Amino acid sequence: MVVAKRGAARVGDDPLNGVDMAEAGSITVDTHEAPHHEQSFWGKWVFPTDHKMIAMQYMFTGIAMALIGGYMSYAFRMQLAFPGQSVPGYGIVSQGEYNALVTNHGTIMIFWVAMPMLIAAFGNFLIPLMIGADDMVFPRINRLSYQIFLISAIVLVASFFVPGGGFGGAWTAYPPLSANSAYNLTPLGASFWIVAVALEFVAFLLGGINFITTLMNSRAPGMKMYDIPMVLWMIVIASILFMASVGPLIAGAVMLFMDQVVGTAFFDPTRGGDPILWQHLFWFFGHPEVYVVLLPAMGMVADVMCTFARKKLFNYKLILFTVFATGIISFFVWAHHQFIAGIDPRMANVFTVTTLIISVPVGEMLFLYIATLYGGSIQLTTPMLWALSFIAEFLIGGVTGIFLGASGADIYFHDTYFVLAHFHYTFFPIAIIGFYTGITFWFPKMFGKMMNETLGKIHFWGTIIAFNCIFIPLFILGAAGQHRRIYNFQNFPDLAGMQDLRVFATAALLVMLAFQLVFLFNFVMSLLKGKPAGKNPWKANTLEWTAASPPPHGNWPEGLPNCYRGPYEYSVPGREDDYWPQNVPPDTAPAE
Amino acid sequence: MAEHEEHTGHGQAHYVRIWGILLVLLLISVLGPVLAPHIEDAAAGAGAHFLKGWMIVILTAFGIAVYKAYLVAANFMHLNIEKRYITLLLTTMLTLMLLFFAGVSPDVMKHKGQNWENVAAEAEIDRALKAQESNAHSGEHHDGAEH
Amino acid sequence: MTTRPIATTRSATGIPTGKLAVWWVIVSEIVIFGGLLASYIMHRLGHPEWAGYASHTNAWFGGINTFVLLTSSLSAVLAHHAAEQGDGKKAAKWLVGTCFGGLTFIGIKAVEWTIEIQHGYTITANGFWQFYYTAAGLHALHVIAGCVIMLIIANDARKQLELQRVELIGIYWHFVDIVWIFLFPLLYIAK
């Protein structure tokens, strides 16, 4: 393709001008010195453009929001276990507050914990480092995306303190409940909520553009498409899925906001609107969204598994194409969330078929991961334990999804705790296990210190065992017919007798929350007094392990690396070391 | 020079030509609804009874819109010389919107289906159509502030 | 001006990073407007009484605005042509002209909406009008945002800086024009 010549700018302004682009990305050694400039306090810590700093901002904001979301789950589970009693550290949970707690717990965990930690924090930190670049392609847009994200978080937290309190219409915000303040009793909270969500979408659209463009364009010389670490593929494909699916919901959010504030009737059936439209707009995004958060977690698990099994990823290309297929199919399944909403049964047939189909590629990926482990020299470090538990727990989540994907069974299961347990068995591995997999693995690179392995393992076992103790009872309760979003099950004679299970689940939640203190302690202690990590404590292949720990501004001041091979060349026969970093030039003599 | 510019799809004269075509198309699309009844009558007179007024409007208004969009995209946005996969990416997004329409319209556009009926919407349509009829009969043309 | 990371200058795909990014912006905007317009079309096709409501839009206002945007698209691409040839000052002039076209569009819309609101066709009047104002309003916001960014880029171009951005804002502007090319028949012609 002939690229039209661009106008010539001043010398040194933009090297793109007038240069044939095909040559710019060819294999030349990039010893161009990274731009140096003194960073002021404000420029480094408060308004950074450095991708690593922005990653930290996203991560710590995400951790703060996770504490808030976890606190909320504590409050409403205490209410469920001990109805009507004052919750220590909260007070009495009123009916309206209960609604607000479950609504905001869900909203926060998905939009302000899972997405920022998995995509924004790890994406920002890893993408430039793993492709051998000195930063993202648009550092200032990167900064802007975090600022918009922070504002969205502040708007959401502010919603708890406005008259009427936080929005109580469930994270799915179905109208007319969400559109009409006469129904939801939280008019200000509802509007703050929708504005916060819309801002968060804008922040992630901006961030996504950075991630996609950087991965497509700024790879190290020699890094071809199939040399890219799987975690980066996953983060970028997730960004693309997000970008392609969120549009209708942004349109819907505008419509909902107008209904709330201006008095339009987009979703008001008494005035010619259609509430089902909102459901479709929401779930057309909502289903791809779960893959948006799933893929980065699976990517991190892949990288960790290969490093600690000392084995290459089993059929990298097949996994990649399976991910493409999953992403595409994910656009065809959304109405399985609406089976009993009154959609046409003929459409329900279609969506049942597509939903069952999508379980195939996802299951296939899990099998490929297990195949990666087979025959490897497995080291059960803390990150590896998390990665393995992801596979086990997500398997349960995925299998229980099949019950729900069959519309006939879903008629019974919809809106029960069975659904809730299903999506916690998927979301918890994604958001929480995925985060811990990534943080325990990349902590040495991020902070230059090693985390304590013993504390890490204690934290792991406590969390995993407690997690299962919370949600297995909820499967049982759901199968018995226990509905979601109910304030007090003592009001239901058929379900009141199962209170022991509810108390048990709540007790397990308290245990799980307590074990997170172990992680926080480990985190802070390792930051202050951990063993120095060195560049490559795990003996991994990917490019980030060739930078200093932590990498300085510009990542490789001595010159950006080149890439000579794929990311998973572990235990290559005939080589002395069981790993072969991507940036090491090929041996002059053949390996075999 | 003009030929060279036309050949490469670049150059001032080429852009102005495209603009001219766009304006002509705009004129046709505005005149479409005005001329449609006359064309329909003429076609009926010539024996082509299938050609209805609304078909002409759709063709002129939307067909032309599609073609105008194509002209702007290909010539002004230079998709005609851009890498092919960019066009593929953009058309994929359009296809997603078709998918959205296909999946949602059975519930939102139609008000009746297998074992269900959107009573509220049908009542609203009935009410509004009756009100419009009575307005037309009474000679007033003021149905702006209705629900 | 600012120190730019080496990352920005690389181009493994052959497309300059700025342009690649703008294409992705267009991708996300297609689905935003697509979702809104698809919702409108569904309602419009399902509600025959909307034809009566829609008859009160003024196709001449709409047509003139279409003419204004098409002409501003022409000036945007002429700005790109000038920038390609290295003439920053000319590019800036054409961009300012484009922005003027955008502001004219907004001005005509303001007059049009004032007239319509005075006749009682407000956003809460009925389903058609709520989509009319929401869709055209969202579009107008994009026009305004485009004008602002265009002026910033024109200012740089005037000083022979960042000329490659002239094409980029042009691509955005053409997209805004294309959205209107579809809004026009949807809101004004189909009656």
**Tens digits of residue pLDDT in C147-180:** 999 999 999 999 999 999 999 999 999 999 999 9
C6 is a domain residue: no
Q: Cβ B78–A4 below 8 Å, yes or no? A: yes
Chosen for mutation from B82, B93, B107, B132 (greatest number of chain A CBs closer than 10 Å) is B107
Which helix (H) or strand (E) segment holds residue B113: the answer is strand B112-113
Which residue of B78, B93, B120 is in closest CB contact with A270? B120
* Domain extent at residue C108: 16-189
**Dihedral of alpha carbons A407, A412, A414, A418, sign:** negative
Nearest CA in chain A to C168: A6
Q: How far apart are CA A464 and CA B27, in angstroms?
A: 68
Q: How far apart are CA A502 and CA A506, in angstroms?
A: 6
DSSP secondary structure letter of residue A3: P
Nearest CA in chain B to C44: B109
Q: With CA atoms as reference, report the closest residue to A583 among A557, A550, A556.
A: A556
Measure C4 CA to nearest chain B CA, in Å. Answer: 25
Residues of B in contact with C43 (CB under 8 A): 108-109
Q: Which residues contact A326 (CB under 8 A, 6 or more apart)?
A: A291, A358, A361, A362, A365
Can you read off the two tokens belonging to residue A363?
A: 């299951």
Q: Cβ B96–A276 below 8 Å, yes or no? A: no
Residues of C in contact with B120 (CB under 8 A): none
- Mean residue pLDDT of chain B comes to 84
CATH number at residue A506: 1.20.210.10
Chosen for mutation from C4, C6, C126, C131 (greatest number of chain A CBs closer than 10 Å) is C6
How many contacts, defined by CB atoms under 8 Å, are there between A and B?
Answer: 66
Measure A410 CA to nearest chain B CA, in Å. Answer: 18
Chosen for mutation from A282, A347, A349 (greatest number of chain B CBs closer than 10 Å) is A347
Nearest CA in chain A to B122: A272
Number of domains in chain C: 1
Q: Cβ C45–B76 below 8 Å, yes or no? A: no
Which residue of A21, A254, A560 is in closest CB contact with C11? A21
| Per-residue pLDDT reduced to its tens digit, B85-103 | 999 999 999 999 999 999 9
Residues of C in contact with A217 (CB under 8 A): 7, 10-13, 15, 17, 20
Q: How far apart are CA A583 and CA C30, in angstroms?
A: 40
Measure C74 CA to nearest chain B CA, in Å. Answer: 6
C-beta atoms surrounding C12 within 10 Å? 21
C-beta atoms surrounding C67 within 10 Å? 17
Measure B11 CA to nearest chain C CA, in Å. Answer: 7
End-to-end Cα spacing for chain B:
59
Which residue of A276, A277, A331 is in closest CB contact with B96? A331
Which residue of A8, A21, A30 is in closest CB contact with C6? A30
Can you read off the two tokens belonging to residue A435?
A: 């985060």
C154 is a domain residue: yes
Q: Does B86 touch chain A (CB under 8 A)?
A: no
Strands B112-113 and B116-117, sheet pairing = antiparallel
Nearest CA in chain C to B62: C185
C21 is a domain residue: yes
Q: Cβ A243–C24 below 8 Å, yes or no? A: yes
Its ipTM equals: 0.94
The pLDDT, as a whole number, for residue A45 is 84
Q: Cβ A32–C6 below 8 Å, yes or no? A: yes
| Per-residue pLDDT reduced to its tens digit, A335-369 | 999 999 989 999 999 999 999 999 999 999 999 99
SS3 label, residue A565: coil
Can you read off the two tokens belonging to residue B83?
A: 């890498």
Angle, nearest 10°, between helix axes A345-373 and B84-108? 140
Measure A38 CA to nearest chain B CA, in Å. Answer: 39
A526 is a domain residue: yes
A552 is a domain residue: no
* Domain extent at residue A371: 46-546
Number of domains in chain A: 1
Residues of C in contact with A140 (CB under 8 A): 2
Can you read off the two tokens belonging to residue A446?
A: 């991020």
CATH number at residue C150: 1.20.120.80
| Per-residue pLDDT reduced to its tens digit, B102-139 | 999 999 999 998 888 989 889 999 999 999 889 888 76
Residues of B in contact with A244 (CB under 8 A): 92-93, 96
- Cα angle B124, B128, B132 (rounded to 5 degrees) comes to 170
Residues of A in contact with B106 (CB under 8 A): 343-344, 346-347
Q: Cβ B83–C39 below 8 Å, yes or no? A: no
C60 is a domain residue: yes
Measure C49 CA to nearest chain B CA, in Å. Answer: 6
Measure B47 CA to nearest chain C CA, in Å. Answer: 26
- Cα angle A522, A526, A530 (rounded to 5 degrees) comes to 140
Nearest CA in chain B to C127: B147
Chosen for mutation from C11, C19, C23, C40 (greatest number of chain B CBs closer than 10 Å) is C23
How many contacts, defined by CB atoms under 8 Å, are there between A and C?
Answer: 194
Cα dihedral A285, A289, A292, A297, rounded to 10, equals 180
CA distances from B100 to A173, A243, A247 (A): 20, 15, 11
Q: Bridge-partner residues for A579, per DSSP?
A: A570
Measure C44 CA to nearest chain A CA, in Å. Answer: 11
Which residue of A137, A250, A252 is in closest CB contact with C8? A137
Q: Which residues of chain A have pLDDT under 50?
A: 1-35, 591-592
Q: Bridge-partner residues for B117, per DSSP?
A: B112
Query: pLDDT class for B58, splitting at 50, 70, 90?
Result: confident
Q: How far apart are CA A366 and CA A220, in angstroms?
A: 30
Please give the full DSSP string across B34-58, using - where no structure is assigned: HHHHHHHHHHHHTT-TT--HHHHHH
Chains in contact with A, counting 3 or more C-beta pairs less than 8 Å apart as contact: B, C
Residues of A in contact with C123 (CB under 8 A): 258, 262, 264
Chosen for mutation from B30, B118, B124 (greatest number of chain C CBs closer than 10 Å) is B30
- Cα angle A553, A554, A555 (rounded to 5 degrees) comes to 90
Measure C22 CA to nearest chain B CA, in Å. Answer: 11
Q: How far apart are CA A281 and CA A283, in angstroms?
A: 6
Per the listing, tokens 């090297």 go with A15
A111 is a domain residue: yes
Q: How far apart are CA A370 and CA A384, in angstroms?
A: 13
